Amino acid sequence: MGQEISQYQFTRRDFRRFRLRLRQETATLADWFREGRFAPMGGIGGFEIEAWLVDPQGQPAPLNQRFLERLGDPLVVPELSVFNIELNTPPLALRGDALRRMHANLEELWQRCQRVAAGLGATVALIGILPTLRDRDLTLDHMSDQQRYRAINDQILQRRRGRPMQLAIHGAESLRLSQPSVMLEAAATSFQTHLQVEAAGAAAFFNAAVMLSAPLVAVAANSPLLFGKRLWEETRIPLFEQGVALAGGVRSNDPSHRRVTFGDDYVRASLLELFAENLAHYPPLLPVDLSGEPARHLPHLRLHNGTIWRWNRPLLGFEADGTPHLRIEHRVMPAGPSIPDTIANAALYYGLVHELARTLPPRGAALDFALSRANFYAAARDGLRAEVVWLGGRRLPLRQLVVEELLPLARRGLEALELDAADVTLYLDIIAARVAGGRTGADWQRRFLARHGPDLTNLTLAYLDRQRSGRPVHEWADEPA
């Protein structure tokens, strides 16, 4: 969850004080790594999922404040725009019936959200980019009333010296536009998995998550449209990278200009390297004085880390007794299309990352980082139609890779975690059917438009009807609602 702050305007003194405390806390974190201070517990999974509030005509509904007041649940919080909310469910140890319980927890929260939304004449939608969204919807008038968001917008624009954000995406069609704020980020909603890992194995898990970003973004693709243009299969990826780029743009060699990034290399020894990189290369955006919070929780380090949106991001958390733990946040997948699809995506990721981390050779020997990065952008652009380079330097269709190698790998990983065999089969079968037919959420949207014409309202209402059925996307019909 994004941490709210107490102010949104800052002085040079605020930045000096924050940088000093960030250096101190990064040094403390280095001591913890050296001393082995982290909780010796891994295999704990959780997730957060962002959603849209939508009116009866399929248009974005600016209702999140009223919605959240009526719901009154700390697990559901605001997002950047008044059209969006974020849902969280409790983390669970990945064993036994954990997948089934994740499904039940999300379904129960989802149904409560739908009841509250219905009382406001709206519905809640899980989709990467809402097809009916217009660029004129993304104004500062539609920013959620949070100091954090206002401060991030002001700081990014200051670093750009007031120059607007520039968006240029070339896919099936092309889109170019300017946006005077960071509100483009609000167009993209994600499904973000969390995995708690032991410090000793964290580097292997992180590197595995990086390698797996390409197949995961392709299998889960659900964002083919932006402002009526057919772009990438997962348009969220270039949209988010360009929507909050600092001066120099996303293609700059200076990492400080790329606040949303795939990164520049694997982790060599420990996740400390990423926090050290945060200190060395990313200037603070939110230099808030957090001296009133417990210093042992490294509040400045954690706040700063929350303003660097790596597609795979390290997280620092704490057990109930104050013992620190490490998590990896995998951010490449979009929201939707259905709750069964969501849990299937999580199951695929958890199984793959556990098995790949266990079996990978030393860093860099399995797949060159540049190839992992190229795979990721090819998969985001072309989805299951992409070709990728995999372990051993083999070039092959991504769809073939998933069917022949990754699904069996995921099954072995989930079985090694001792998850319920029937659940493993249920959720991996959803992935298998989706991939076999090429029937992702993005594919369904494209096929619907090809069959019924470019009416985005018709598309959105049909999508919402299918989503309410609770059936996975590979079973969705192509006919209008």
**What is the pLDDT at residue 258?**
85
pLDDT on residue 250: 45
Spatial separation of the C-alpha atoms in residues 469 and 312, rounded to whole Å: 32
Cα gap 461→59, rounded to integer Å: 10
Task: Quote the CA–CA distance of 225 and 441 in Å, as a whole number.
Answer: 11
CA-CA distance, 60 to 137, in Å (whole number)? 8
Distance, in Å, from the CA atom of 346 to the CA atom of 237, rounded to the nearest integer, reads: 19
Q: For position 480, what pLDDT does the model report?
A: 63
Cis omega before residue 337 (within 30°)?
A: yes
385-422 burial, b at 16+ Cβ within 10 Å, e below that, comes to ebebbbbeeeeeebbebbbeebbebbbbbbeebebeee
pLDDT value at residue 32: 98
Cβ(58)–Cβ(457) under 8 Å?
Answer: yes
Which residue type, as a one-letter code, is found at position 139? Answer: T
CB 216 within 8 A of CB 164: no
Cα–Cα distance measured from residue 349 to residue 213, given in angstroms and rounded to the nearest whole number = 9
CA distances from 167 to 120, 135, 182, 297 (A): 34, 11, 11, 37
Q: Where are the domains of the chain?
A: 12-473
Q: Looking at residue 292, what is its pLDDT?
A: 87
Angle formed at CA 326 by CA 280 and CA 323, multiple of 5 degrees: 110
CATH topology of domain 12-473: Creatine Kinase; Chain A, domain 2 (3.30.590)
Going residue by residue through the chain, which has 481 residues, state the pLDDT in tens, using 9 for 90 and above: 466 666 668 999 999 999 999 999 999 999 999 999 999 999 999 999 999 999 999 999 999 999 999 999 999 999 999 999 999 999 999 999 999 999 999 999 999 999 999 999 999 999 999 999 999 999 999 999 988 999 999 999 999 998 999 999 999 999 999 999 999 999 999 999 999 999 999 999 999 999 999 999 999 999 999 999 999 999 999 999 999 988 644 445 566 568 999 999 999 999 999 999 999 999 999 999 998 899 999 999 999 999 999 999 999 999 999 999 999 999 999 999 999 999 999 999 999 999 999 988 765 568 999 999 999 999 999 999 999 999 989 999 999 999 999 999 999 999 999 999 999 999 999 999 999 999 999 999 999 999 999 999 999 999 999 999 999 999 999 876 5
pLDDT for res 249: 45
d(Cα 157, Cα 152) in Å, to the nearest integer?
8
47/192 Cα distance (integer angstroms): 5
Q: What is the SS3 assignment for 420?
A: coil
List CB contacts of 426: < 8 A, sequence separation 6 or more: none
**Rounded Cα–Cα distance for residues 314 and 11 (Å):** 29
Per DSSP, which regions of 111-230 are E strands? Answer: 123-125, 165-170, 174-179, 190-197, 225-226, 229-230
Q: At what angle do helices 339-359 and 421-437 cross, to 10 degrees?
A: 100
Burial of 294 (0-12, 13-18, 19+ CB in 10 A): exposed
